[in-house]
Structure 1
Amino acid sequence: MMRAIETTTYAPDAPDGTTVGLPAMVVRRLSHLHPRLGVAHILLEWAAIVVAAWVTETFWHPLLYAVAVVWIGSRQHALAVMAHDGVHGLIVRNRRANDLLAELLLAWPVLMPFRSYRHVHRLHHRHLGTERDPDFARNRPERLGRRGGATEFARIMLGLNAEQRGLLAFFGSGDAAIETETLRARPWLRGAYYAVVLGVAWTFGGLSLLGQYWLVPLCTWFLFCMRLKGTAEHFAVEGSDALNLSRSIRPGPLARLLIAPKQVYCHIEHHLYPSVPHYRLRELQDELMKQPGYAERAHVTGSYFAFLRECARFGSVRSAP
């Protein structure tokens, strides 16, 4: 069964003419799928959400609820990260089963139009950092010089710029311009899915719980994490190849838990080897760091705070006369 998105790998040339890449045997080992592990990750995240909601309802306190919102929002982000794996066909080997799991348990719960996103993401991988890259307009370097780095970054994180509003519209309804005849039925299926969820919640008196423990985290911490992740991956970077057209982060344990779960911070590595599932990305990064020239050339930032400092410096330089 073919993977959902091409798994072409890149081996950029170093200045001395050598190639920065991994042996094929290592790539095959890291790309080997473990379907049970992939499904276990999904079930674990859903269990973490249910337990957090139950504990908060049982021992209600406003501060506990605030913690639950952050925790559940971070787990929703984990679902979105695994939906991205599903786009690449990295959950289970069977394509139909992969897509079914990804849509029902990962993408649709966080309002992601899975099939449209797959198309857009394919273009992002093929045309990284060019005008044909759908993500490029939201992350192009000159935007940091328009109002200054800090101001522009704040507008992005608050969803106040046109590109981010367009992204929210895409998540709500997909992109009609790229829908094929086969995909045009998907919004109806998504609508039926949400109708069933709302109907079940209403039948069992759980509409308020759905709002408290799903929609509030989704509209707050989840969106914050998605915006921070998206900007950290491609914002304020300029380069000529896959090693410096993206950014990887080396976050601490708390950030890995609440902001960047499922090793999503290894973004350069994902672009180099998109056949590697999320649970092997840190190992992939460690292998690449052993390769001569990789650590020197790859745009790897030590933390999300360091990324914010990079944005400030980048914007100041670009806005200078």
Structure 2
Amino acid sequence: MSLFMLPSSCAPPTANSGHIPLRAPVPPELLGRATLPGLLRLAVTQWVWISLCWVGMARVPALTPLFALLIAGRLHALGVVLHDAIHLPWHHKGPAFRLLELLAGLPVATTMEAMRYHHLRHHRDAGLPSDPYRRPPASPWRQLVVWLRVCPILPFWVLRGPFGLLAWLIPTLRTPYARLFLQDRSGEELTRDAEVLGCARAEPVQVLFHLAVLAAAPRWPSAIGLGYALPFLLASGLCAWRLLAEHTPRPVRGRTLRDVLTCTSDHGLGWMGRLLTAPLHVGCHVVHHLHPQVSLLHLPRLRDWYLLRYPDLYPPPRQP
């Protein structure tokens, strides 16, 4: 289930040998995949917590900022749920996938097609110039500037909906749509690209979702503004922080397992991560790249296994 390998000449390791074999002998019970019913349950669970926070806002208005931040963490978690679904084998969205997209994708301004486009390319080319999420080397102050630039990522995705709708109807807009909103770095002409067309064709549902939110805002301005819009903006900042925390600016030369250890980082492993910056164990990012089809719920134990077997090679987590 690992997609990244070192040359086959690597010898079988001992616990501290400093080498990782062609395919690490991970116990099968640590490699459980996500399931669609399980992801739907996770999405519903996040909505239960969001609903409880809404009740808290109504009953204790003085704590509204705290509840808004907690809702932002659960919106972030919904994006993580959809992220796990991207790694499931699917080609066409049936009713269950569409329900998951409604629960976990549209509230954070993405469709399954759009996330799959840039996220799977990131896994394929992690750390390379073609990686959509590649981080250039920079000073800490420069990284702050990068974070501020990435902070509006979710509002920017809202704009992707109408632009993608136009790109579906106007072929000449498909290449700029892919470059700007799908983070395509191929440099190719994409007017007739079937995957880009599929992403554009999926956008109307996102447009309708946010039009419904806008239509509800005049009638329930406080509920929509404090209960969704403010947490949405906060969640955007949390997502931006995570994207910078889980990838390093160190250069890589290929797609080997050692390259993955170079350009990825674990982060948010404490209570703050569980609530806000790395919900549902998404902060176990190194092993996620080593085994991208493994369910996020299995990642902590899988990380512990790698730490025990390869303590000198597994990179230390990024500190807050």
TM-score by length of 1: 0.76
Larger mean Cα displacement after TM superposition, 111-120 or 233-242: 233-242
Question: How far apart, in 2, do the equivalents of 1:285 and 1:13 lie?
Answer: 22
Contact 2:54/2:227 (CA < 8 Å) preserved in 1? yes
Among 140, 143, 159, the residue aligned to 2:136: 140
1:205-255 Cα distance to aligned partner (Å, 9 max, x none):
4343011111101112x1221111100111333455111121112622233
Partner of 1:232: 245
Give the secondary structure class of the aligned counterpart of 2:250: coil
Is 1:254 paired with 2:267? no
Question: Structure 1: which 5+ runs fail to align?
Answer: 1-6, 305-321
Larger mean Cα displacement after TM superposition, 11-20 or 116-125: 11-20
Output the aligned Cα RMSD: 3.0
Q: Pick closer, same or farther for the CA change 1:94–1:290 going to 2, 3 Å.
A: farther
Partner of 1:117: 115
1:87-108 Cα distance to aligned partner (Å, 9 max, x none):
1128x99963553133201111
Is 1:9 paired with 2:3? yes
Question: Structure 2: which 5+ runs fail to align?
Answer: 13-19, 165-173, 179-194, 254-258
Give the secondary structure class of the aligned counterpart of 1:182: helix
| Residue identity opposite 1:172 in structure 2 | L
Contact 1:244/1:298 (CA < 8 Å) preserved in 2? no
Give the deviation of 1:16 after TM superposition. Answer: 6.1
Is 1:212 paired with 2:210? no
Give the deviation of 1:263 after TM superposition. Answer: 0.2
Is 1:299 paired with 2:315? yes
Question: How far apart, in 2, do the equivalents of 1:31 and 1:164 lie?
Answer: 33
Give the deviation of 1:270 after TM superposition. Answer: 0.8
Question: How far apart, in 2, do the equivalents of 1:214 and 1:258 lie?
Answer: 16
Q: Pick closer, same or farther for the CA change 1:27–1:228 going to 2, 3 Å.
A: farther
Give the deviation of 1:85 after TM superposition. Answer: 0.8
Question: How far apart, in 1, do the equivalents of 2:151 and 2:53 lie?
Answer: 30
Question: How far apart, in 1, do the equivalents of 2:227 and 2:221 lie?
Answer: 10
| Residue identity opposite 2:142 in structure 1 | E
Partner of 1:183: 199
Question: How far apart, in 2, do the equivalents of 1:131 and 1:302 lie?
Answer: 23
Question: How far apart, in 1, do the equivalents of 2:6 and 2:267 lie?
Answer: 20
Q: Pick closer, same or farther for the CA change 1:250–1:216 going to 2, 3 Å.
A: closer
| Residue identity opposite 1:70 in structure 2 | L
Contact 2:250/2:262 (CA < 8 Å) preserved in 1? yes
Q: Pick closer, same or farther for the CA change 1:295–1:171 going to 2, 3 Å.
A: farther
Question: How far apart, in 1, do the equivalents of 2:239 and 2:153 lie?
Answer: 14
Partner of 1:82: 81
Give the secondary structure class of the aligned counterpart of 2:61: coil
Q: Pick closer, same or farther for the CA change 1:188–1:10 going to 2, 3 Å.
A: same
Give the secondary structure class of the aligned counterpart of 1:274: coil
Give the deviation of 1:36 after TM superposition. Answer: 4.1
Question: How far apart, in 2, do the equivalents of 1:273 and 1:183 lie?
Answer: 26
Q: Pick closer, same or farther for the CA change 1:13–1:298 going to 2, 3 Å.
A: farther
Q: Pick closer, same or farther for the CA change 1:254–1:131 going to 2, 3 Å.
A: closer
Give the deviation of 1:38 after TM superposition. Answer: 2.6
Partner of 2:50: 49
Give the deviation of 1:187 after TM superposition. Answer: 2.0
Q: Pick closer, same or farther for the CA change 1:224–1:164 going to 2, 3 Å.
A: closer
TM-score by length of 2: 0.76
Aligned length: 278
Partner of 1:267: 285
Give the deviation of 1:14 after TM superposition. Answer: 10
Contact 2:34/2:84 (CA < 8 Å) preserved in 1? no
Question: How far apart, in 1, do the equivalents of 2:249 and 2:109 lie?
Answer: 28
Contact 2:152/2:236 (CA < 8 Å) preserved in 1? no
Contact 1:56/1:65 (CA < 8 Å) preserved in 2? yes
Q: Pick closer, same or farther for the CA change 1:244–1:187 going to 2, 3 Å.
A: same
Contact 2:287/2:299 (CA < 8 Å) preserved in 1? yes
